[in-house]
């Protein structure tokens, strides 16, 4: 699997799934899990997660029908006084700024109004880990940890 093609595909998959979804977007399972799917050429992307205020999930990419890449993540909204929907609406805006260089989550930094998104990661598509944090009025209100890489 060519990592440049994978990077381009991941950007498109992420922009066209959760980051652009309505509140009730994705496929909902009776178990409470949700799934987003995206296909393009020989690539297929799945994002399956559980939870709302605190959550965990996994993104997988199949190339020519074979698992080739995955990322695991877990996160939570920390501020009980802040509506989680506001946090997730801002998060989706940040995630739509995903880059080809590190297409794991959003950009390194994104600000809108009183919200600030910071994403710190190390590694590349072969193997990586990172943490994204959202601040509201300079107070941490959300964080997510993620890790993953190429599956051979």
* pLDDT at residue 93 greater than cutoff 80: yes
pLDDT of residue 24: 58
pLDDT of residue 126: 96
pLDDT of residue 78: 95
pLDDT at 66 exceeding the cut of 80: yes
Say whether pLDDT at 38 is over 90. yes
Q: Whole-angstrom Cα distance, residue 121 to residue 130? A: 4
Q: Is the pLDDT of residue 103 over 70?
A: yes
Phi-psi region of 85 (alpha: psi -120 to 50; beta: other; left: phi over 0): alpha
Does the structure show a pLDDT above 90 at 27? no
Task: Find where tokens 């950007």 sit.
Answer: 11
Q: Which residues contact 102 (CB under 8 A, 6 or more apart)?
A: 121, 124, 128
Cα separation, 113 vs 124, whole angstroms: 31
Instruction: Give the integer Cα–Cα distance in Å for 73 and 29.
Output: 19
């Amino acid at each position: 699997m060519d990592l440049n093609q994978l990077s381009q595909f991941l950007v498109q998959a992420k922009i066209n799934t959760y980051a652009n979804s309505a509140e009730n977007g994705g496929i909902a399972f009776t178990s409470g899990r949700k799934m987003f799917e995206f296909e393009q050429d020989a690539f297929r992307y799945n994002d399956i997660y559980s939870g709302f205020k605190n959550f965990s999930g996994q993104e997988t990419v199949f190339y020519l029908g074979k698992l080739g890449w995955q990322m695991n993540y877990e996160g939570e909204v920390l501020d009980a006084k802040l509506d989680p929907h506001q946090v997730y609406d801002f998060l989706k805006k940040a995630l739509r700024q995903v880059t080809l260089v590190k297409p794991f989550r959003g950009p390194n930094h994104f600000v809108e109004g009183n919200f600030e998104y910071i994403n710190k990661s190390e590694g590349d598509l072969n193997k990586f880990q990172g943490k994204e944090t959202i601040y509201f009025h300079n107070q941490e209100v959300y964080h997510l940890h993620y890790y993953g890489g190429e599956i051979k």
